[in-house]
Amino acid sequence: METRTVDTRERILDASERLFMAHGYEGTSMRQITGDAGVNLAAVNYHFGSKESLMQEVFRRRLDWLNEERMRVLDALEAEAAGQAVKPSAIVDAFFGTLLRMAGDENRGGMTFLRLLGRTLTEPSEFIRAFLAHEYKEVMDRYKEALFKALPEVPKAEIVWRFHFMLGATSYAIAGTDALRLVTDWQIEDEDSTDRMDRLVPRLMTFLLGGLRAQLPQF
C-alpha cells in the first residue's frame, strides 16, 4: 500500500501544478491531468474527492511550508531586534525573498508553483479565493503589524496599499519570467534563463523597497 498510493497522489499533484499553471483551473480538465500524470481518470476522485479539493491540496502542499517559514523568519528577526523595530528591508526580504527563493527549490515546487500562485492571486474562483484568504490571513496580519512598527511615520492605510502593490509587482515578476515577452515581445539580451532568476531577486527587492519607502504623495 506504500509506493503505489504515494506515487499516484504525487504524480497527480505534480501534473495538476503544471497544468493549472499553464491553463488555469477552469481551463484544465481531469482528463488532461490524469493523462499527463499517467494514472486512471478515476484516481483523482478516489484520492482527493473532487477537482476543487485537488486544487486546494495543490496549494496546501506548498503554502503550508512557505507560510510557516515566513513565520519562523519573522520570529527570528523580531527576537534579534529585541523590542526594537525590524528594518523594512529585512521584513520585505522575509516575506518576498522567502517566496522567491522557492523558485530555486524544485522540491518545493520551484518556478512552476510560483507561477501558479502568481496567476491564481488575480484569477481566483470563489472557492479558491476563500481558501487563500484563510491560508494567508495569519501571516499577512503578522507582516502588516511588523511593517506598521517599522514605518511609524507612514500612515497605516498607505502601508497596506504599498504591500498590495508589492504583491502585484512580485506576482508579475514571477508569472512573467518568460511570459514577459509573450505580452510585450521584449527580449533581455545578455542573459540566459538560468541567470535570470538569480538576478531577479535583487532586482525586484530594489524595486519593492524603492516603492515602499517612496516619499508620501501630496494630497
Partner DNA sequence: TTATGATTAAAACGAACGTATGAATCATAC
Partner DNA sequence: GTATGATTCATACGTTCGTTTTAATCATAA
In the complex, which residues of this chain contact a second copy (CB under 8 A)? 23-24, 26-27, 118-119, 121-125, 129, 132-133, 136-137, 140, 144, 157-158, 160-162, 164-173, 175-176, 179-180, 182-186, 188-191, 199-200, 202-219
Q: Are 145 and 130 contacting, i.e. CB atoms less than 8 angstroms apart?
A: no
Cβ closer to DNA: 28 or 170?
Answer: 28
Q: Is the dihedral of CA 79, 143, 125, 21 positive or negative?
A: negative
- Report the distance separating Cα 108 and Cα 40, nearest Å: 25
Q: Please give the residues from 17 up to 56 whose contact with DNA meets the rule CB under 7 A.
A: 28-32, 39-47, 50-52
Question: Could you say which of a second copy, DNA, none residue 219 binds, taking C-beta under 5 to 8 angstroms by partner kind?
Answer: a second copy
Q: Are 204 and 100 contacting, i.e. CB atoms less than 8 angstroms apart?
A: yes
Tell me, by CB under 7 A, how many residues bind DNA: 23
Cβ closer to DNA: 60 or 144?
Answer: 60
Backbone φ/ψ region at 185: left (φ over 0), alpha (ψ -120 to 50), beta: left
Question: Could you say which of DNA, a second copy, none residue 157 binds, taking C-beta under 5 to 8 angstroms by partner kind?
Answer: a second copy
126 touches DNA by CB under 7 A: no
- Report the distance separating Cα 36 and Cα 26, nearest Å: 17
Instruction: Give CA 50 to chain center in angstroms.
Output: 23
Interacting residues with DNA (CB under 7 A): 1-2, 4-5, 7-8, 28-32, 39-47, 50-52
